[in-house]
Chain A
Amino acid sequence: MPGRRSRSGRAVGAQTVIADEPISRTPTIRPLKAYAFDPTRGRTLGNYMTINVRYESLEPGPVGRYLSVIDYDATNNCYYRPVDLDDPGVLIRSGLDPAESDPQFHQQMVYAVASETIRRFEMALGRSIRWSFARWVRSGEAADKCLRIFPHAMQEANAFYSRDLRGLLFGYFRASTTDPGLNVPGQTVFTCLSHDIIAHETTHALVDSQRDFFMEPTGPDAPAFHEAFADVVALFQHFTFKDALVDTIQRTGGRIYRTDVPPERAPATTGAAIQAELSTTNPLVELALQFGNAMGMRKALRSALGTPPNSKQLEVLFEPHARGSILVAAVFDAFFSVFVRRTEDLWRVAQVSPADAKANGLHPDLASRLADAAVKTAENVLNICIRALDYCPPVDIRFGDFLRAMITADSDLVPDDPLGYRPALIDAFRSRGIVPDADSYSEESLRWPSPDNVPAGALPACEDLRFDLFRQDDPAKHERAQKHNGRTLHGYAVKNQSRLGLSTAGGAKIQARTFHEVHRVGPNGELVFEMVTELTQHRDVQVDPANPASGTFTFRGGTTLILDSKGHVRYAIQKPMSEARLAEQRAYQEQRAASVDAAAYLSARDLGDQLADAKIDFRLVHRGAA
């Protein structure tokens, strides 16, 4: 039945026009093709996948509500032609087919993967995202509030998020000529074709959208936390790829946490003769396989379970990715432990053991059920991680704070925890020596204290907050409500300064920086409204108090306040401006100064200037890894 389709999305069947009124057929999804991993996996393991991106109308680029893909190449100083995803030729085949040589497929893939990552955040947080830079962009231009994606920004084995450029920058580079691993020697490798790298970088931008000062390098845990969190999101994305999951379950006999996948056929004692007799690495638990290979590492860039539990590692690992991998391993340890526990019944019902399964293969139904369980568990653990962001102190995040935030976030949402997510997390963190600032590792101690038992006594309610459920309808009204809430919260903070753990010394002014409304379904099925806000204060201090030439840095403290719809304080999560913290931060500043390449040859003032831009420079952080 031939039909016509206009640019506005109306479809009109030639035979069936009865009325002139346009029929609205706005779709809910837009299917787009992408690599599940990266080009090196070829067609195996469900590597060619289709992502059902939440539908939005798009301009060529693609440019949508959150993202604008701009294909500018700064190395070659040129633009590549933008893809029009509404082109019928593209639409009719669910997006362009994967191809390394087609920049428009690259544009499609970064858009699809980044959109999907954003959607997962919004689902978990119960609100829509607003990019950090959009908070202070004054222009009314919607395009200025988009995150810009540059899929071929530069020739460099690197990709990074830059708040300053309001974008994600992906590089391309030549694979090692001597040790290219899975690549052709010297072939061009595109970081924007790695599903993991896209998800990782998008996550940096998403975390930055939640808190103003999270990106400040306040201690060794802060940059490591950002890397770990981005890796966690990227890795959990793997557990939504059902084809790859079922295949790995079949090959490992359900042990999807193994780093090696046994060969399809057992090789002879003389060694493997054909492909099917070779064991491979487990794609589910490794990140950026092609990138790692191209850099001559002969393996993926990082692995979810790269570090065996070892409580001493935190004392010696300071490189952000290495330190972050401890946190990643802890989260995945918990995830796999819960997965094993929740699938025990399936094995019993099927009357096989994982050992039999490995020898004889798994019944497809069992494999499918196991995959479903993995998907569900992964979704839950990822949600715990993302929701924990709301429960973190506003500045100077430490791994221990994150554990407490996860425990609190989850027990708020699921009080009974029948599958034991929280004990699994606690055990995994404890065995890796991640020490929270709490009395013990019991769940009760790890939960942030409710205001009734904080030392300074109960806090009064913050009255007169406006919750604005339908803000999309009227931006002006929303803006007014935000301003009003800002003033109200600030007044409240000033009045209760010391009880909120805020410093009263030295005239450090309090700022109510960000406030997010949270709407979600509570444990009893009722709709819950909450407000998460960060109250911060700061003062400038000298790096070395004894040396006036040493330069200054900004020392911050603050409190994350979680309020219910009546304005009652549910949690006041504090990071006070204590002398102990200041001393630690000073020591860390000195380390940072010492690790600047040019440190020896710069004057104190120039070195201070280099460090003064106190955001974590993701670019340098990433280069260290390569």
Chain B
Amino acid sequence: MAAKRKAPTRKITTKSKAKTKPKKSTPKTKPQPKPKGGGGGGGRGGGAGTPSGAISVRMYRVGFGDCFLVTLPTAGGPAYVLVDCGVHAKGDAGTLGQIVADIASVTNRKLAIVIASHAHQDHIAGYDRFGTEFATFQIGEVWLPWTWDPSDPQAVQLQGKQAALATQLAAHFAALPPGAAQRPATSAAAAAVANLTGNAHAIALLNTGFGVGAKVRYLKAEDSLADAAGISGLSVKFLGPPHDEAYLAQMDPPANQHYIGLAKGAARDATRIEPFAKSWRAAATRDLTLTKVDEKKLENATTSTVEDLAFALDKARNNESVVALFSYQGQTLLFAGDAQYGNWRWWLEHDQPGQILPQVRFLKVAHHGSINATPKDALEKMTDGNFAAMVSTQSTPWASIPLVPLMARIDQKTKQELVRSDWLHLSNANAPDPSAGAAPPQPANPPAGFTEGGGLWFDYVLKP
């Protein structure tokens, strides 16, 4: 079980090596960089760095992506849960090395649970880039969506199809001339595709538990764990991803279709069918033909753009998100990954949202605060002023994220206990400050219960 074997990881950057290696022998040191705000890593009975006290959640400023560290106080000292570790290549703040170093130092290289919510770079890239680093951790369990389960034939088939399509899409966007790539729809889709690809190695590492003997679990809606990862009193209920046929159909990339934009060279010949012998083709001069305008209209109506396909695949991936509801010491925390409409809908219809949602005390806002990742009816079922929320977000690479009215509404519902990661200022074009008119307006100091550390993270200590 506990046999330690070096995982076959890629090289980590020298920067992160330099930052993390010295920490190895000094488990109790404060995280790097030093916190500048009050509280923080070692202070005042809260925060991820503190062994005693209440449950706390640390949100790191990765750029566009998610990395959350949950601290659960137990009789034998704090237990740590890492929820995602990734950043989008086009919204990378360059902080991931420091962050992994901080995690190593705070947790003393001991993680009870590592979660990878779904296969997008902005959630799992860190597991790949710092794979050798994580292989030096002691990891209890690794929790992954069922769609990655190599022993589930449906999952394997789905992964195969999605991967093939993602590769084709990536090739398509890479080959576009610069002018075409700058159209808003195209660049938004290209960013989605960049997020979809290059995840195979991270998935392989996670599937093998980083080679450190971690127990790997594949989770689906309706699963639940009592005393999860051996932490007495920790119960976790999974609300997503669902595992039924209708849902699978949504996950399936639109197959059996010929994508014109995608069709260049070999790919075209491989997918296109010529249904009849050439001799059936008619001469162009006969009576019954369409006008050129109509031919064009028909062509447009019968082809999806490559952008459509990219967005469809992106949505399917988001909807494989593990949605975990933690209950511990009377507190309820909801981590919804990047669950979008389909994933939420499923459990809102099949579970008991009316009982679950009013009790939630902490919400990790799904999909960086986008329009379709926090259903209104779900948010409204949560109790006003009963919960705090964190959203890891920024307006790069997609200006439409986070959605202003949604942020404003969560701020209201939490009675101003919402914190955005992009309030941590970095002088980095890839990690901008909130855009003009963003909601909620940034307060001079973090709301009560929240502390800021070194421009790298926010901590939230759950009220008892």
Are B295 and A597 in contact, with the CB atoms below 8 A? Answer: no
With an 8 Å Cβ cutoff, the count of chain B residues facing the other chain is 65
**Contact, CB under 8 Å: B246 / A626:** no
Interface centre among A73, A316, A599 (most CB of B within 10 A): A599
Q: Are A82 and B275 in contact (CB under 8 A)?
A: no
B401 touches A601 (CB 8 A): yes
CB-CB under 8 A from A18, the residues of chain B are none
Task: State the CA gap A178–B277 with chains docked (Å).
Answer: 26
Give the residue among B286, B372, B404 with the most A Cβ atoms within 10 A: B372
* B-contact bits for A579-613, CB 8 A (1 contact / 0 none): 00000000000110111111111111011000000
Q: State how many angstroms separate the Cβ of A511 from the closest Cβ of chain B.
A: 28
- Contact flags (1/0) for B348-388 with A, using CB distance below 8 Å? 01100000000000000001001111011000000000000
Interface string of B397-430 (1 = CB under 8 A from A): 0111100110000000000000000000000000
A603 engages B301 (CB within 8 Å) = no
CA distance A162 to B294 in the complex (A): 13
Nearest neighbor of B192 in chain A, beta-carbon distance: A601
Which residues from chain B contact A550 at a C-beta distance below 8 Å? 405
Q: Give the interface segment out of B50-58, B115-123, B234-242, B254-262.
A: B254-262
Is B288 touching A70 in the complex (CB atoms < 8 A)?
yes
Chain A residues with CB under 8 A of B189: 598, 601
Would you list which residues of chain B between 111 and 163 have a CB under 8 Å from chain A?
157
Q: Taking the nearest CB of chain B, how far is it from the CB of A102, in angstroms?
A: 8
> Is A619 engaged at the interface, CB distance under 8 Å to the other chain?
yes
* A600-B371 in contact (CB<8A): yes
Q: Does A52 contact B (CB under 8 A)?
A: no
Query: Bound state CA distance, A157 and B272, in angstroms?
Result: 13
Contact stretch, chosen from A164-172, A270-278, A377-385, A524-532: A164-172
Considering only CB atoms, which chain B residue lies closest to A604 in the complex?
B400
Kindly state the interface size class of chain A when it binds its partner: 35 or more
Is B308 at the interface (CB under 8 A from chain A)? yes
Give Cα A169 to B341, complex, Å.
30
In the bound complex, CA of A173 to CA of B273 (Å): 8
Collect the chain A residues with CB atoms within 8 Å of residue B302's CB. Answer: 74-75, 153-154, 156, 169, 171
- A190–B288 CA distance with the chains assembled, in angstroms: 22
Query: A61-B288, A598-B188, A601-B188 are contacts. A173–B256 as well, Cβ < 8 Å?
Result: yes
B280:A80 contact, CB within 8 angstroms: yes
Could you tell me the distance between the alpha carbons of A72 and B297 in the complex, rounded to whole angstroms?
12
CA distance A174 to B185 in the complex (A): 30
Is B301's CB under 8 angstroms from A169's CB? yes
| A505 CB within 8 Å of chain B | no
Give the A-B contact count at a CB cut-off of 8 A: 172
B301 touches A590 (CB 8 A): no
Q: Does A155 sit within 8 A of B, measured CB to CB? A: yes
A81 at the interface (CB under 8 A from B): yes
With an 8 A cutoff between CB atoms, is B264 at the interface?
Answer: no
- Alpha-carbon gap, A162 to B299, bound state (A): 13
A60 within 8 A of B: yes
In the complex, chain A residues whose CB is within 8 Å of the CB of B400? 600-604
B-chain residues with CB within 8 Å of residue A43 when the two chains form the complex: none
Q: Check if B315 is an interface residue, CB within 8 A of chain A.
A: yes
A597 near B311: Cβ-Cβ < 8 Å: yes
Which residue of A has the minimal Cβ distance to B314?
A597
CA distance A549 to B403 in the complex (A): 11
List, in ascending order, chain A residues with CB within 8 A of B266's CB: none
Query: Given the complex of chains A and B, what is the CA–CA distance between A603 and B185 in angstroms?
Result: 10
* 0/1 string, B299-314, CB within 8 A of A gives 1: 1011100011001101
Selected from B295, B298, B405, the residue in CB contact (under 8 A) with A544 is: B405
**How many whole Å from B387's CB to the nearest CB in chain A?**
22
Q: Which residue of B lies closest to A318 (CB)?
A: B345
Task: Give the docked Cα–Cα distance between A463 and B155 (Å).
Answer: 67
Q: Please tell me if the beta carbons of A76 and B274 are within 8 angstroms of each other in the complex.
A: yes
Interface residues of A, Cβ cutoff 8 Å to B: 59-61, 63, 68, 70-82, 101, 103-104, 150, 152-158, 162, 164-165, 169, 171-174, 178, 188, 190, 295, 315-316, 318-319, 322, 544, 546-547, 549-550, 590-591, 593-604, 606-607, 619, 623-626
The 10 A-B residue pairs with the shortest CB-CB distance, nearest first, are A154-B302, A600-B370, A594-B372, A598-B311, A157-B256, A155-B258, A597-B311, A173-B256, A79-B282, A601-B188
Between-chain CB contacts (< 8 Å), 14 pairs: A72-B295, A74-B299, A77-B299, A80-B276, A82-B282, A153-B302, A158-B257, A165-B298, A190-B275, A544-B405, A598-B188, A598-B189, A601-B188, A601-B370
- Excluding A101-B277, A154-B303, A549-B404, 4 further A-B contacts by CB distance (< 8 Å) are A80-B276, A103-B276, A590-B376, A598-B188
